Structures are given as C-alpha cells and as structure tokens.
C-alpha cells in the first residue's frame, strides 16, 4: 500500500525525522562560534581555577595540627594578622586619592584638543615598572636626593626629610604607578557623556558643582566603582614597593611580604598558601561590598548617552 492511500491520521502520526546532531547542538547554543571560546576557557582553567584550587587544598594541609591550623596561626599571631591592617592603610588611601585626582583631570583632558598627547604623557609612568619607579624615588626623595637637597638649599628645612624606607615612600610609589591605570578607566567613563547634557543643565541655571554632582557623577558612578575595585586590587597586592621603599619589618609589612616570608624563608608553602587565600578573601570582601553599595546609590544606566 502506498503512502498516498494511507489515511490522513496515519500520516500525521508518523514519527518526525530527527534533526542532525549539529542542528540540535546549535539550538542549545553550542555551534562553531561557541567553540571559539574554548581556548580562553582552557586558559582560565589553567591559569586561575587550577592554581586557586591547588593553593586552597595546600592551605588545608599544615605541617602540624588540624586542617585549619594555618588559618588559626595567622589570626592568633599579631605579627601575621596585623599585615591586613597595614595593607589596607596603604591601599585604601592610595586608591581614593588616585580617583580624586583622576576624575577632575579626565574631565579636563576630554575637552582639550591634544587629548592623545596629554593622555600619553599622563600614562607614561605605567610603562616604567614598579622597580624602576622605586629606584627613581630613592634617588629623588632620599636623604641626599634632589628634593631634599633643593629644600635645604632654599632654606625651607634644616635637615633632610625622611621620605623613603617608610610609609610615605611606598605611598608615593603606589600613587605614581596606580594613577595612569585609574586615569585611563576614568577617562573612558567621562568621554561617554554627551556634552549636551551639561549644556542643558547650564541652560537651566545649574552651576559647575551642580552639573557635576547631579549630571556627571551619577553617570560615571558605576564606572568609578569598577575603577576603584581594580585600582584597589592593584594597590592591595603591593610587594616590590614595600620592600624597596618601605620598612618590610615595620609599618609597611604588608600581607604579600608575610606570604613571601612563609614560602621562601620558613619554607612553609602550606602557610604561604593560607596567607594568599586570606589575601584574596579580603580583596573579594572589599570589592563585593563596594559593588553592593553601588547598587544602593545608583541603579541607572552604566554609561553616558553619547552617540
């Protein structure tokens, strides 16, 4: 019997042809374009997920004691636990000052004709590297550096100021190396604001401060929050500056120095991994708190309306 002679109901009940596997995978979002993500995914797994998991497991295998012994030692020993406060006292003020400098400078630079030239000059320190900046500051701010000798020669001070091998030496280094990064991120936020918004506000009688607080700041606030997070993480992981320009056994004994000493002086890699885990947890807590606070302050668009 031919298919033409079958009843209509029998032909309707015939099983539908199964689509090819490639079509079914594409319907689930797994097509050739998606496969292009695999190299990046493998890189993330190899460079971040696996080292993090390995370090976490290693931190739970102390030389002696229970699995939490390394964390108990860290928080019970002030010489170790105080490094969190020392690092925060450096990272938070530096990040805040970098943002306070980056915002007005970015707002001014975006209106200038030679924006590219000025941007290149301002971000030049980022190409020098932390060690080279530290060496330059030692020669400039040291007891026999140009800065101190100039002040003594002018009669402003009677003896050289101690600006290196202490808190202020590390602070200056972090400020110089962190500002270009904060400036570039801030500039990308402010350049997305349509100047017509400010002009409209000025037309309605808003002064410069009102235009900034009621027009510009709400638009760049989400970008500033991300900039603060990234700049804070960069400053919190300070190590070379704290060693070269600070007091590694004193006021600038940051948490990264504690991890280094545990790994390469005590040869206790389990404790060093625990210190690194605590360091990451503090950073994650600060960043998470800031991003949560951003949602409470402003829930509008994440950029300007230019274009």
pLDDT value, residue 199: 86
Domain boundaries, the chain: 30-59, 68-297
Q: Give the containing element (helix H, strand E) for 202.
A: helix 195-203
Secondary structure class of 176 (helix, strand, coil): helix
Residue 7 in tokens: 């009843």
Q: By mean pLDDT, which of 7-21, 159-173, 216-230 is the weakest? A: 7-21
Which pLDDT score is estimated for 111? Answer: 80
Q: What is the pLDDT of residues 225-272, one digit of tens each?
A: 999 999 999 999 999 899 999 888 888 999 999 999 999 999 999 999
Fold of 68-297: MetI-like fold (1.10.3720)
Q: What is the pLDDT of residue 307?
A: 46
pLDDT for residue 72 is more than 90: yes
Backbone angles phi, psi at 302, to 5 degrees: -90, 10
Q: What average pLDDT does range 279-303 have in this prediction?
A: 79
**Integer CA distances (angstroms), 272 to 80, 115, 234, 255, 264, in order:** 11, 45, 20, 10, 9
Of 245, 234, 222, the residue nearest 291 (C-alpha): 222
* Residues above pLDDT 90, as percent of the chain: 44
CA 29 and chain centroid, separation:
32
Instruction: State how far the Cα of 70 lies from the Cα of 59, in Å rounded to an integer.
Output: 7
Q: What is the pLDDT of residues 56-66, one digit of tens each?
A: 999 999 988 89
Residue 191 burial (C-beta neighbours within 10 Å; 0-12, 13-18, 19+): middle
What does the pLDDT average to over 269-281? Answer: 95
Of the pLDDT bands very low, low, confident and very high (cuts 50, 70, 90), residue 16 is low
Distance, in Å, from the CA atom of 91 to the CA atom of 153, rounded to the nearest integer, reads 34
| pLDDT-based confidence at residue 29 (cuts at 50, 70, 90) | low
pLDDT tens digits, 184-224: 999 988 988 888 888 898 888 888 888 888 888 888 888 89
Cα distances from 243 to residues 26, 134, 147, 151, 165, in angstroms, run 54, 10, 22, 27, 8
Alpha carbons 233 and 74: distance in angstroms, whole number:
21
Q: How far is it, in rounded angstroms, from Cα 252 to Cα 70? A: 23
Q: Rg of the Cα trace of the chain?
A: 28
Counting residues of the chain whose pLDDT is more than 70, the rounded percentage is 90
Closest CA to 251 of 90, 14, 65: 90
- 111 vs 279 pLDDT, higher one: 279
How far is Cα 230 from Cα 185, in angstroms, rounded to an integer? 10
Q: What pLDDT is recorded for position 175?
A: 94
**Is pLDDT above 90 for 292?**
no
Percent of residues in the chain assigned helix, strand, coil, to nearest 5: 70, 0, 30
User: How much is the pLDDT for 173?
Assistant: 93
Q: What is the mean pLDDT of residues 280-304?
A: 78
Residue 300 is predicted with a pLDDT of 55
């Amino acid at each position: 019997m031919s298919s033409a002679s079958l009843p209509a109901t029998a032909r309707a009940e015939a099983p539908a042809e199964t689509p090819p596997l490639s079509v079914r995978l594409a319907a689930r979002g797994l097509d050739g374009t998606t496969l292009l993500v695999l190299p990046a995914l493998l890189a993330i797994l190899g460079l971040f997920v696996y080292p993090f998991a390995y370090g976490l497991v290693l931190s739970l295998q102390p030389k002696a004691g229970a699995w939490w012994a390394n964390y108990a030692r860290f928080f019970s020993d002030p010489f170790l636990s105080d490094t969190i406060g020392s690092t925060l006292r450096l990272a938070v003020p530096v990040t805040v000052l970098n943002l306070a400098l980056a915002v007005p400078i970015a707002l001014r630079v975006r209106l200038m004709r030679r924006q590219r030239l000025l941007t290149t000059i301002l971000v030049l320190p980022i190409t020098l590297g932390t060690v080279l900046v530290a060496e330059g500051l030692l020669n400039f701010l040291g007891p026999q550096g140009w800065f101190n000798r100039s002040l003594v020669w002018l009669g402003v001070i009677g003896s050289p100021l101690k600006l290196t091998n202490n808190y202020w030496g590390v602070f200056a280094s972090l400020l110089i190396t962190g500002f270009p990064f904060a400036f570039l991120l801030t500039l990308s936020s402010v350049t997305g604001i349509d100047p017509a918004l400010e002009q409209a506000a000025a037309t309605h009688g808003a002064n410069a401060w009102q235009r900034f607080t009621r027009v510009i700041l709400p638009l760049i606030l989400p970008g500033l929050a991300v900039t603060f997070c990234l700049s804070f993480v960069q400053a919190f992981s300070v190590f070379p500056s704290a060693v070269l320009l600070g007091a590694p056994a004193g006021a600038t004994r940051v948490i990264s120095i504690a991890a280094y000493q545990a790994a390469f002086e005590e040869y206790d890699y389990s404790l060093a991994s625990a210190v690194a885990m605590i360091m990451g947890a503090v950073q994650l807590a600060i960043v998470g708190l800031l991003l949560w606070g951003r949602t409470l302050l402003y829930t509008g668009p994440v950029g300007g309306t230019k274009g």
